[in-house]
Structure 1
Amino acid sequence: MPVNPKMAICGVEGMGNMVFASYDTLEPKDLSLLRQVLEQVCEERNITLQHPDAEHYAHNLVNWYLFGVRQPDELKAMLKPLDA
């Protein structure tokens, strides 16, 4: 079943939060891509998917995806400021 969020919040430390309406749905292929990116990010940072930071990364990945960032490398780049 697709997820249909009404609002998403993207935050980058030092840049505040961006709030935008999204009526996009996340299909299984979208969730699969996001999961693959999350797994890569966690592996690169030597954390498990159960680590609290992984939840934070997942939240931001979904928000950036809904905002229109759809390429895996671009999504990963959007998370770099969160590591600072």
Structure 2
Amino acid sequence: MPILPEGVTFSSFSPITVEDVGGSVTVEDVGESVAVEDVGGSVAVEPFGGSFEVEPFGGSFDVEPFGGSFDVEPFGGSF
């Protein structure tokens, strides 16, 4: 299972910590920040129509209504 560097957070949603995920997680009632560790699947953010797809030390976070994306590169990223 991929392990993101400690301290990696994705702040756009409510305080939610996802640990040891082995499939999919649906996040409803989203508000400010999301911490993702040991994620082995995808996190769907329904209220915002986006999804967070995690691949071995990489993935992408697309937020449809806001037209933004968060690309996670090995131990880094861009918004």
**TM-score (normalizing by structure 2):** 0.26
**TM-score (normalizing by structure 1):** 0.25
Larger radius of gyration: 1
**Bigger relative contact order, structure 1 or 2, given CA contacts below 8 A and separation 6+?**
1
Structure number with higher helix proportion:
1
Structure number with higher strand proportion:
2
